[in-house]
Amino acid sequence: MASVDVTIMGAGIFGLSVAWACLNKGARVRVIDPNGVGTKASGGLVGALAPHVPERWSDKHQFQFESLIMAQTYWQEIEALSGLPSGYGRLGRLQPINNDRGLALARARVEGAKVFWQGKADWGVVAAADFGEWAPASPTGWLVRDTLSARIHPQFAVKALASAIAAKGGEIVGSGQAEGKVVWATGVAGLEELSAAFGHDMGGGEKGQGALLRYDARDLPQLFSNFVHVVPHFDGTVAVGSTSERYYDDPDSTDKLLEEVIEKAIEGVPVLKGAPVIARWAGARPRSFTRAPVLGAHPLKEGQFIANGGFKIGFGVAPKVGQVMADLILESVDAIPDKFRAAVLGA
């Protein structure tokens, strides 16, 4: 008789979220990762949980929206059980409006948010002057402010989630036997395996680089300015990032591209000038060919499952990913959007 009901291969945010959801359904769970918890893409610095704009709505947009709405309760429960901070905070986001066309578009999206965000969050146009020195530079003097965006500190969050899993009786080990239902949440390596097996691009790694600045804006909204995320964390730091590099030699090294990101962040948010850089990070994020998560039945391993392709929205969609995967694995209830299935990649 198997000692566990579900084995998850991979201790990144998708693997841990599936483990947590299965535990909450009463399953016995083992997570196996020789590299440890959150050592790859899930160990980054930025942590911007930002929604799609409220227009041209799709199943992907709806999935992400539902996950972002779930997030506050989700991370509160994890923090309560683990006794550790996740860095979660739904403090919204500000974005500069650069011209009259952008201003008209931003105002049109106010109505879209009322429909698609179901009264659970707002999208509005506000004066930059209302936010003092934290306001990003805006040629029009206006900003978009949404109340759906949130922040998380990835490095703290994966530790809190792993601790909560252990407190609930789950195992997280570096090696061991895969028993019961098996879920592959192996990130870049898993997508590269699919590409090699099917002989065409089904996904792989896209490198991102980010930095951490010592500047205390912990109670302020995140910013998206000059094509850079600026995310105040709970510990008195501000993360900036990230690059998007399809081609790279070393996924784990930082270089001049990160220095350019830091410069853009300071140009867009002048109050950050002089803030010391206290950490730099680089890593390859799992990007599917469609840029959407890949969930459901594993196309190479009969009777097994896949949860991959978090890319830039992994932490944002993780609560919902865990939920739908646990429903499928343990109850054969399939609520996965069609565009998230491996077949869409040509498997």
CATH domain 6-91+149-202+290-345 topology = FAD/NAD(P)-binding domain (3.50.50)
Q: What is the DSSP letter of 297?
A: E
Percent share of the chain, pLDDT over 90:
98
Residue 225 pLDDT grade (very low, low, confident, very high; cuts 50, 70, 90)? very high
pLDDT tens-digit readout, 174-201: 999 999 999 999 999 999 999 999 999 9
Query: What confidence score (pLDDT) does residue 1 get?
Result: 54
Stretch 54-71: mean pLDDT: 96
Domain spans, the chain: 6-91+149-202+290-345
pLDDT tens-digit readout, 258-273: 999 999 999 999 999 9
Query: What confidence score (pLDDT) does residue 347 get?
Result: 86
Residues in Cβ contact with 181 at an 8 Å cutoff, skipping those fewer than 6 apart: 5, 6, 7, 304, 305, 329, 330
Stretch 237-251: mean pLDDT: 96
Q: Is the pLDDT of residue 48 over 60?
A: yes
Percent share of the chain, pLDDT over 70:
100
Scan for tokens 């309760």, then name that residue: 73
pLDDT tens-digit readout, 249-261: 999 999 999 999 9
* Mean pLDDT for all residues in the chain: 97
Stretch 87-102: mean pLDDT: 98
Angle, vertex CA 91, rays to CA 22 and CA 276, nearest 5: 105
C-alpha span between 250 and 142 (Å, rounded): 40
- Write the DSSP string, 81-123: HH------B---EEEE--SHHHHHHHHHHHHHHHHHTTTSS-E
- Quick one: 192 exposed, middle or buried, by C-beta within 10 A (0-12, 13-18, 19+)? middle
Residue 346 pLDDT grade (very low, low, confident, very high; cuts 50, 70, 90)? confident
pLDDT tens-digit readout, 282-318: 999 999 999 999 999 999 999 999 999 999 999 999 9
Residue 7 pLDDT grade (very low, low, confident, very high; cuts 50, 70, 90)? very high
pTM, 2 dp: 0.97
Cis ω before 82 (30° cut-off from 0): no
Stretch 91-120: mean pLDDT: 96
Query: What confidence score (pLDDT) does residue 215 get?
Result: 98
Distance, C-alpha 284 to centroid of its chain? 13
Torsion of CA 245, 250, 253, 258, to 10 degrees: -20
